[in-house]
Every structure is written in structure tokens, then in C-alpha cells.
Amino acid sequence: AQSVAQPEDQVNVAEGNPLTVKCTYSVSGNPYLFWYVQYPNRGLQFLLKYITGDNLVKGSYGFEAEFNKSQTSFHLKKPSALVSDSALYFCAVRNGDRTSGGYNKLIFGAGTRLAVHP
């Protein structure tokens, strides 16, 4: 079975400081990893994804994420946080193994609330 863990319920950062939102995953086949953001009373918006290749992927609004296969992690980062980055962030994994029962399932973590203070 595949799963995603986001160990922090909330991350607090001062504006202008770097931020990291942590994500670890478990999947039997090749992982396809995604980050989404949710603003209040809205649906989820796609930020970035890792499919293959370079371990550092860049996405929308200055966010980037680093894939680490040995640590099964896909942490979201941003060099300089903005107050407008305050939102709920979700990590997700899709199982790319066609022989497993979980092929095509898109599974999300519990979410991490990011609070950026002026």
C-alpha cells in the first residue's frame, strides 16, 4: 500500500526567511510525487511534481522541492517566504507500478498548515 506522511501539522516562518515543509512517502513502485496548495474555501492547486530526472524540481510561485530516494522524502522549499504563502500544503504520491493493486491511485498526506508572519 502507498502512503504519505507530513510530520508537521503547522510550520511557522517569518517573512523573508526560508521555509521547508516536510514529506515522506511509501510506495512499492516508482514514485510520482506532487505538491498542492489549498487556500481557504478553495480547491487544491498544483504547485510542482517529480517524475524522473533531476532531484530538484522547480514549480509555481518560487517553490521548489527536493526528491531524495534513499530517505524517501520530497520536501517543499522556498528561499524567502511571503505572507501570501500562508495556506495548507499537501504532498501526494501516485504509484507507477502496474503490477501493484495501487496503480494510478493518487494518495495525499494529512496536510501542513504554513503560517508566514510579517
Partner 1 sequence: NAGVTQTPKFRVLKTGQSMTLLCAQDMNHEYMYWYRQDPGMGLRLIHYSVGEGTTAKGEVPDGYNVSRLKKQNFLLGLESAAPSQTSVYFCASSYQGVGTEAFFGQGTRLTVV
Summarize as ranges the residues that interact with partner 1 (CB under 8 A). 6, 9, 32, 34, 36, 41-46, 49, 51-52, 90, 94-96, 103-111
Pairing status of strand 3-5 against strand 56-58? unpaired
The C-alpha cell at 88 is 495548507
Q: How far is the CB of 15 from partner 1 (least distance, A)?
A: 26
Q: How far is the CB of 27 from partner 1 (least distance, A)?
A: 11
Query: Largest Cα–Cα distance in the chain?
Result: 49
Q: How far is the CB of 111 from partner 1 (least distance, A)?
A: 5
Are 17 and 80 in contact by the 8 Å Cβ rule? The answer is: yes
Nearer to partner 1, 86 or 100 (CB): 100
